[in-house]
Chain A
Amino acid sequence: MNTTVILFLVLYYMVMVGVGVWAMRRGASDDLEGYLLGGRNVGPMVTALTLQSTSMSGYMFLGAGSLAYTQGYWAFWYAAGDIGGGVLNLSVIGRRMRKLSRMMGSLTAIEYLENRYPSPATRLIAASLSVFLLSAYVLAQFIAGGKGMALITGLPYSVALLIALAVIIVYTFLGGYLAVAYTDFFQSLIMIVGVAWVLGAALIHVGGLSAANAAIAEIDPTLLSVWGKDLGYHGQWGIVVGAVLVFSIGLMGWPHVVTRHMAMKQPTTARRAGAYATAWNLLFVSSPYLVGVLAIIILPNLEDPEMAIFQVAYTLLPAAVTGIVMAAIMAAIMSTADSLLLQTGSIASRDLYERFINPKASDREMVMVSRGLVFAIGVAGYVIALVQPPAVFDVVIFATSILSSAFAPAFVCAVWWKKANTPGAIASMVTGASTSFVWEVGNLADATTLAPVTVGLLASTLIIIVVSLATQSISPVPGHIVAVLEETAKVGPIPKHLLSASDFALSPEAEQIESILGQRREER
């Protein structure tokens, strides 16, 4: 393999680790964590600034590229929703979820669901689904990491995959010097430059977009249409809707994404984050799809469509640049995998093990459970990725379709509909998950021209409405939750201005003080 590429890649990692060590040493010994006194530090696994890390992942580089390479501009239906997913999520549930989660004292998105829809069943179902589906999502990252590593090093896939997995797992167990703010920022910068460079180089190489499209028309004009190769998806609106939905509305059902709302330091963070999300997505969501399309002419006979984007980078960029950019991409993929594994491990240990098996679990025990699961996922992932690797695109759509179908109505109704109750939520999660699962596994999309997420979301939305209304009297929503949602009922003639500027992290103390004042009044 190209030694310059490897040299620069290694150099890059050394610099990153160096920066990480330096940052850690600097901030290390007498650090007093800076959070405001009495403020509720509701800190879920992912901090609020990891906008980039989950979008720069295996899907982006392998999945999106391969879809565009094989189906042409049809792939942009997926970009269509993806561009707006961030701002949609933040604008619709961001601020409200933050407020509700603080008032209920929830630490994770799964705990939040149980607090809002009280029942052990809520937690059990939500946690189990999440662990299973996030594991599938991680699998996509493993495959991407393995293939990328194989390309860079020239090692056979089985070995490269093992290395990628080992790095990811060690990273997850020991933590990273790569997990420091400086390196995150620097890495994102490199990715931005890298992606722009690849796109730019590709466009120049093909002589501009118009020329490229003319060349594609020579090969196969249907690739220029919105219906895919050979107009295969012509008129299949059920699939089209699914493509747009899964990364937009569906995104509101992904626990590892909505969990970020809970970490927002201020309600106004949602506004800024929404603006950034759109700006970022406008630039970077479409790019991989476009590069994939251009690859049709640049590399017309690719054996593995998933390697489209990587191969374009290898072919067009100078070796040193390729080394650095590939390094940044691999780091991003591993970071995404690490994030997902941490969350999955945390859900397994808190929301399953501690909640249902051993409530008196010590911290060490819970970490062991998390590590055990991460290791198990690694092993299972290795076997699957080696023996029968699914396409990254397929496995990501599988995981996200079911996540969307199962959870989106539950998360949205949690903050928008005060009649959404526990039976409704449970029924919705079960229906959404099972419908989309059956549709996926049974390949019913082909027969019905309805995407699994289209059917799943429809079903779960319908069910939460029907069941909640039907069971209102036997299982009403708890009073204190209704009060939060209504913002006024509990407290009477409070000026709106005061309410909106209130610190809801003080809600637990407020409740205590209310009852104590009530007792004092009685004593007089």
Chain B
Amino acid sequence: MFGLPVGTTLLIFGFPVFWILYTIGFLVVSKHWKDEGDQS
């Protein structure tokens, strides 16, 4: 892709994909986190 060797393509795109999935996972898992008390 873009004339890059496979390894490089994996490096450049693989990690971002991983972190996007991680972030989505985090948002899902933490859905129940509550705000404190009744502070406005």
Direct contact of A and B (CB under 8 A): yes
Inter-subunit contact B11/A76 (CB<8 Å): yes
**How far is it, in angstroms, between the C-alpha of A246 and the C-alpha of B34 when the chains are bound?**
31
Q: What's the A-B contact tally at a CB cutoff of 8 Å?
A: 97
Say yes or no for A158: interface residue by CB 8 A criterion.
no
* A contact face: mostly helix, strand, loop, or mixed: helix
Inter-subunit contact A278/B37 (CB<8 Å): no
- Could you tell me the distance in whole angstroms from the C-beta of A393 to the nearest C-beta in chain B? 18
- Could you tell me the distance in whole angstroms from the C-beta of B38 to the nearest C-beta in chain A? 9
**How far is it, in angstroms, between the C-alpha of A267 and the C-alpha of B18 when the chains are bound?**
25
Name B37's contact: one of A91, A225, A274, A501 (CB within 8 Å): A501
Segment 1-40 of B: residues with Cβ below 8 Å from A: 2-5, 7-8, 11-12, 15-16, 18-20, 22-23, 26-27, 30, 32-37, 39-40
Inter-subunit contact A73/B11 (CB<8 Å): yes
Segment 76-104 of A: residues with Cβ below 8 Å from B: 76-77, 79-81, 83-84, 87-88, 91, 95
Residues of chain B lying within 8 A (CB to CB) of residue A47: none
Inter-subunit contact A87/B22 (CB<8 Å): yes
Inter-subunit contact B15/A83 (CB<8 Å): yes
Residues of chain A lying within 8 A (CB to CB) of residue B8: 73, 76, 224-226
**How far is it, in angstroms, between the C-alpha of A213 and the C-alpha of B33 when the chains are bound?**
46
Residues of chain B lying within 8 A (CB to CB) of residue A268: 33-35
Residues of chain A lying within 8 A (CB to CB) of residue B26: 87, 91, 271, 274
Complex: chain A residue closest to B10, CB-CB: A226
Inter-subunit contact B36/A504 (CB<8 Å): yes
| B-to-A contact residues, CB < 8 Å | 2-5, 7-8, 11-12, 15-16, 18-20, 22-23, 26-27, 30, 32-37, 39-40
Contact bitstring A483-502, B, C-beta under 8 A = 1, else 0: 00000000000000000111
Residues of chain B lying within 8 A (CB to CB) of residue A210: 2-3
Q: A73-B4, A95-B33, A271-B33 are in contact. Are A87 and B23 (CB under 8 A)?
A: yes
Known: A95-B33, A225-B8. 18 other contacts (CB 8 A): A76-B8, A84-B19, A209-B3, A213-B4, A224-B8, A225-B7, A266-B39, A268-B33, A278-B20, A278-B22, A278-B23, A282-B16, A282-B19, A500-B33, A501-B34, A501-B35, A501-B36, A503-B37
Say yes or no for A39: interface residue by CB 8 A criterion.
yes
- Could you tell me the distance in whole angstroms from the C-beta of A55 to the nearest C-beta in chain B? 15
Inter-subunit contact A267/B20 (CB<8 Å): no
Q: A95-B33, A271-B27, A274-B27 are in contact. Are A83 and B7 (CB under 8 A)?
A: no
Say yes or no for A183: interface residue by CB 8 A criterion.
no
Complex: chain A residue closest to B3, CB-CB: A213
Say yes or no for A193: interface residue by CB 8 A criterion.
no
- Could you tell me the distance in whole angstroms from the C-beta of A250 to the nearest C-beta in chain B? 16
Residues of chain A lying within 8 A (CB to CB) of residue B30: 91, 270-271
- Could you tell me the distance in whole angstroms from the C-beta of A6 to the nearest C-beta in chain B? 37
Say yes or no for A204: interface residue by CB 8 A criterion.
no
